[in-house]
């Protein structure tokens, strides 16, 4: 226990402070909240995509034959495929609320700036037409949407603090009217700044701001942060933090845009009929947990199957249903797993096991790109049981691999839990004997 006490002290001094600041970081909170605001869109669209891509070939073939499937997929085209467009508004809206600004105005400014910076011609030469490319509105636009929404909202806050730029109308004017007039000069300054950025990049080899960000920031970040080794490293660190009582939500907030960009890119690849890039990384993201942090559902199954002590079996019955829906705080803090030296090794390494099995299944072809439904993966709520998620995202092969990870996970947890269970069972027997 002395070792764990020393580690805990180091983490509390070093990492908990960092994690705490990250959790209170307003841009990070705005990114997380803004992405959550798009959930009704992705969830609603995924309902149609689940039906259109239902894992029963005869049914999906019938939908295509009668012309229903293309109309269903049009729903995703107007939502999932242009998700960056919505995020340009929702992230700025969320940040505007956190900064005590008019959130609607900050969202509109950000959305307009996002579109102004975007190329507005598709194609070249005689075939060129006016329009916004869907790729910039979707996967290629997510990081730009984040950068633009945060930058424009902070610029709006700075300009709003300058009284000379805020148009004040008499008190007799209705508040909704005066609020609309207040940012007129601020809007002019913002659009001059956005125009200059657009003009500047038009003279560079990148030609526009979107290509600059995608080549300099987004592509390297996705390549490194979305690699299988980095995914394993980051989520193993999450397990470590949670073991010592530090919630890993700030880490999840950082990784979410990377995962989302990769899923949207897969959606575009599927629509275009081309191969899905980084499929192994998508599988690693999906199979990193079989439920909540640390794959604790496997631990509960080990208790239910092999446990003898009344204490642990009672806890498993109470915690099983929440855990099935990816809520694992009852078992982390109730068993407890937190600061429990016997469970440190399986909890810490659980992500390597589950993600490793998933990636191996992808390598040998059990999980294939041909059955992967990226749009469905995007729309699944985090509380959806993993085994159901993987049925619709990967088909029946996803269910098989999930069950395999759970079996192996139970085997990993079993020898460590057995030590706890044996001690507790002996104490219960001794207590019952004494009471008799």
Residue 33 lies in a domain: no
- Whether 241 and 143 map to the same domain: the answer is no
- Whether 237 and 369 map to the same domain: the answer is yes
Residue 18 lies in a domain: yes
Domain that residue 281 falls in: 1-25+227-436
Please answer whether residues 399 and 433 qualify as being in contact, where contact means their C-beta atoms are separated by less than 8 angstroms: no
- Whether 96 and 116 map to the same domain: the answer is yes
- Whether 399 and 411 map to the same domain: the answer is yes
Residue 153 lies in a domain: yes
Residue 49 lies in a domain: no
Q: What is the pLDDT, as a whole number, of residue 149?
A: 96
Angle at 391 between CA 386 and CA 395, to 5 degrees: 145
Q: What is the pLDDT, as a whole number, of residue 11?
A: 52
Domain count, the chain: 2
Residue 265 lies in a domain: yes
Note the pTM of the prediction, 2 decimals: 0.74
Closest by CA to 119, choosing from 111, 103, 131, is 131
Distance between CA 52 and CA 124 in Å, rounded?
A: 34
- Find where tokens 């397990």 sit: 239
Residue 436 lies in a domain: yes
Out of 193, 225, 257, a domain closes at: 225
Residue 403 lies in a domain: yes
Distance between CA 262 and CA 382 in Å, rounded?
A: 17
Out of 205, 225, 245, a domain closes at: 225
- Whether 383 and 240 map to the same domain: the answer is yes
129-130 and 121-122: which strand pairing? antiparallel
Within 8 A by CB and 6+ apart from 99, the residues are: 26, 106, 153, 154, 157
Residue 36 lies in a domain: no
Count the Cβ atoms, other than its own, within 10 Å of residue 375. Answer: 28
- Whether 239 and 197 map to the same domain: the answer is no
Out of 209, 225, 241, a domain closes at: 225
- Whether 318 and 353 map to the same domain: the answer is yes
Write out residues in the chain with pLDDT < 70, as ranges.
1-24, 55, 125, 169-179, 245, 379, 434-436
The string of pLDDT tens digits covering residues 361-387 is 999 999 988 888 877 777 677 778 888
Within 8 A by CB and 6+ apart from 361, the residues are: 283, 367, 397, 401, 404
- Whether 233 and 361 map to the same domain: the answer is yes
Please answer whether residues 121 and 130 qualify as being in contact, where contact means their C-beta atoms are separated by less than 8 angstroms: yes
Q: What is the pLDDT, as a whole number, of residue 173?
A: 63
């Amino acid at each position: 226990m002395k070792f764990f006490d020393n580690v805990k002290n180091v983490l509390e001094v070093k990492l908990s402070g960092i994690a705490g600041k990250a959790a209170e970081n307003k841009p990070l909170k705005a990114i997380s909240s803004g992405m959550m605001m798009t959930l009704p869109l992705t969830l609603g669209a995924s309902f149609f995509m689940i039906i259109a891509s239902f894992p029963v070939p005869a049914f999906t073939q019938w939908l295509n034959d009668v012309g229903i499937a293309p109309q269903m997929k049009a729903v995703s085209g107007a939502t999932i495929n242009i998700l960056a467009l919505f995020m340009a508004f929702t992230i700025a809206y969320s940040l505007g609320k956190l900064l005590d600004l008019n959130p609607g105005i900050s969202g509109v400014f950000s959305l307009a700036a996002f579109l102004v910076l975007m190329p507005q011609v598709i194609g070249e030469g005689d075939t060129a037409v006016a329009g916004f490319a869907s790729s910039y509105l979707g996967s290629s636009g997510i990081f730009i949407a984040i950068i633009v929404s945060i930058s424009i909202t902070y610029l709006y806050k700075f300009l709003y603090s300058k009284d000379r730029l805020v148009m004040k109308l008499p008190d007799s004017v209705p508040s909704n009217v005066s609020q609309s007039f207040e940012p007129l000069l601020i809007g002019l300054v913002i659009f001059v700044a956005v125009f200059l950025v657009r003009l500047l990049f038009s003279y560079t080899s990148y030609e526009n701001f979107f290509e600059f960000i995608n080549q300099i920031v987004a592509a390297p970040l996705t390549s490194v942060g979305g690699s299988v080794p980095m995914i394993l490293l980051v989520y193993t660190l999450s397990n470590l933090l949670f073991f010592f009582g530090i919630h890993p939500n700030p880490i999840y907030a950082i990784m979410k845009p990377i995962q989302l960009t990769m899923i949207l890119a897969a959606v575009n690849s599927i629509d275009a009929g081309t191969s899905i890039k980084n499929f192994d990384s998508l599988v690693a993201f999906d199979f990193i947990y079989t439920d909540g942090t640390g794959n604790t559902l496997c631990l509960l199954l080990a208790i239910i199957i092999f446990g003898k002590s009344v204490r642990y079996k009672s806890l498993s019955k109470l915690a099983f249903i929440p855990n099935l829906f990816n809520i694992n705080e009852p078992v982390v803090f109730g068993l407890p797993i937190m600061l429990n030296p016997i469970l440190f090794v399986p909890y810490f390494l659980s992500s390597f096991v589950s993600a490793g099995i998933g990636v191996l299944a992808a390598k040998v072809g059990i999980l294939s790109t041909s059955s992967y439904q990226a749009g469905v993966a995007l729309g699944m709520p985090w509380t959806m049981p993993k085994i159901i998620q993987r049925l619709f995202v990967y088909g029946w092969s996803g269910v098989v691999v999930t069950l395999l990870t759970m079996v192996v996970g139970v085997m990993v947890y079993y020898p460590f839990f057995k030590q706890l269970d044996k001690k507790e069972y002996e104490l219960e027997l001794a207590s019952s004997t004494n009471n008799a």
